[in-house]
């Protein structure tokens, strides 16, 4: 079943079907990227280096017609429940508008895929961004964890409850049901903390630990990256590859992607257009910023792909790849929010204006 695709609506039937052996039921790995255009990755025409996703696509199935909800939280709610986002209570973002369809959190009239699979004999794991419930305190002043991943069917969780934040010090970073700081975490101390790597590393950890401790059971793993959501944060090792890559400007990148998509058979020239971008639509004042921004964006996606490669390697290492269903999704298209532009109007201080946070600071003022 390597790299094949099944509609989400089939998963409950698949999970509950009789099976004489655990090996008869595939493991499932759902991978979600964040705020990324569909043509960014190589197998859909992009110039960003994504060899691991490209290899999966070559040996699997690529959709040329597929829908998300065009928004972060609703897409995740639909993916997790198989329902329209409004049915799950997440019609928009995390604000409660006082009506059931827009309560800003997964409701209890739905079940997650993890809640379906776990009683059917699957172990369930999640690494990465949750973002289908607000972060709020319970009556005792502690975080209300009643709608967190471990209370919605997942056996293990490492990631963030919030939707966005620093890649070097993310707020609401959580292990299972406990907030942690990446700099005071005894279980994970890389040479440099970077959230994309942390998500990948914990996905690999869950696969290996599952193999050692629960080898006879199938598993479901949900890997929800925050790449390439703002803020634009990348590692220097990945940035170097893209320096100068976008100097030719918008039209050149668009034309090259269009031609590659035609060559790959993803689009038909008779049914598509690639008109020149009108000059008045092109950014001029902040073009240099846009070029650098795109270099960082590409590096973020490159790093995610490297992590997906490590996940695939862990599946091979544990001899599970041939019986694993791998699906890659995007929650919406490229981000339209222009954070960071125009920053030259606010001069940067020569020295930090605030004292550094302690290693064990949980950034609770952010939640």
Across 314-353, the runs of DSSP E, i.e. the strands, are 324-330
- Which of the 8 DSSP states describes residue 131? -
Strand 178-179 vs strand 173-175: parallel, antiparallel, or unpaired? antiparallel
User: CA angle, corner 282, sides to 280 and 283, nearest 5?
Assistant: 115
Task: Give which of 163, 170, 177, 171 is closest to 193, Cα–Cα.
Answer: 170
Six token digits for residue 13 = 């039937």
In the annotation, is 131 catalytic? yes
List for the chain the helix, strand, coil content (%; round to 5): 35, 10, 50
Distance of CA 232 to the CA centre of its chain: 15
Task: Give which of 249, 322, 255 is closest to 2, Cα–Cα.
Answer: 322
Buried b (16+ CB within 10 A) or exposed e, 248-273: eebeebeeebbebbeeeebbeeeeee
- Omega within 30 of 0 (cis) for the link into 228: yes
Q: List residues bridging with 40 in a β-sheet.
A: none
Please check whether residue 81 is in contact with residue 111, taking contact to mean a CB–CB distance below 8 angstroms: yes
Catalytic residue among 131, 202, 210, 229: 131
Q: In which region does residue 136 sit, left (phi positive, over 0), alpha (psi from -120 to 50) or beta (all else)? A: beta
* Residues classed as catalytic: 72, 131
């Amino acid at each position: 079943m390597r790299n094949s695709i099944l509609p989400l609506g089939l998963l409950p039937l698949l999970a509950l079907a009789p099976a004489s052996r655990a090996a008869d039921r595939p493991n499932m790995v759902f991978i979600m990227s964040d705020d990324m255009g569909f043509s960014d990755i190589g197998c859909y025409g992009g110039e960003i280096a994504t060899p691991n996703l490209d290899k999966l696509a070559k040996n699997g199935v690529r959709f040329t017609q597929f829908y998300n909800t065009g928004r972060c939280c609703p897409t995740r709610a639909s993916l997790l429940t198989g329902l329209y986002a409004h049915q799950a209570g997440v019609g928009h973002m995390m604000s409660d508008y006082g009506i059931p369809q827009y309560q800003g959190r997964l409701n209890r009239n739905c079940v997650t895929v993890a809640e379906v699979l776990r009683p059917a004999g699957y172990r369930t794991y999640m690494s990465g961004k949750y973002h289908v419930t607000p972060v709020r305190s319970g009556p005792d002043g502690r975080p209300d964890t009643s709608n967190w991943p471990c209370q919605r069917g997942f056996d293990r969780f490492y990631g963030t409850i919030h939707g966005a934040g620093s890649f070097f010090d993310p707020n609401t970073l959580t292990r299972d049901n406990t907030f942690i700081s990446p700099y005071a975490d005894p279980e994970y101390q890389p040479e440099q903390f970077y959230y994309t790597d942390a998500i990948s590393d914990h996905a690999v950890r869950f696969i290996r630990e599952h193999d050692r401790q629960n080898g006879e059971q199938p598993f479901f793993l949900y890997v929800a990256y925050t790449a390439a959501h703002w803020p634009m944060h990348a590692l220097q090792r990945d940035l170097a590859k893209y320096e100068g890559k976008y100097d030719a400007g918008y039209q050149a990148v668009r034309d090259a992607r269009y031609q590659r998509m035609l060559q790959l058979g993803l689009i038909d020239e008779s049914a598509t257009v690639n008109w020149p971008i009108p000059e008045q639509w092109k950014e001029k004042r902040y073009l240099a910023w846009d070029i650098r921004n795109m270099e960082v964006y590409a590096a973020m996606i490159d790093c995610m792909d490297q992590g997906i490669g490590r996940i695939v390697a862990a599946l091979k290492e544990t001899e599970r790849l041939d019986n694993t269903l791998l699906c890659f999704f995007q929650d919406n298209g490229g981000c339209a929010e222009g954070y960071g532009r125009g920053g030259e109007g606010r001069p940067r201080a020569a020295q930090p204006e605030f004292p550094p946070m302690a290693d064990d600071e949980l950034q609770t003022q952010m939640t």
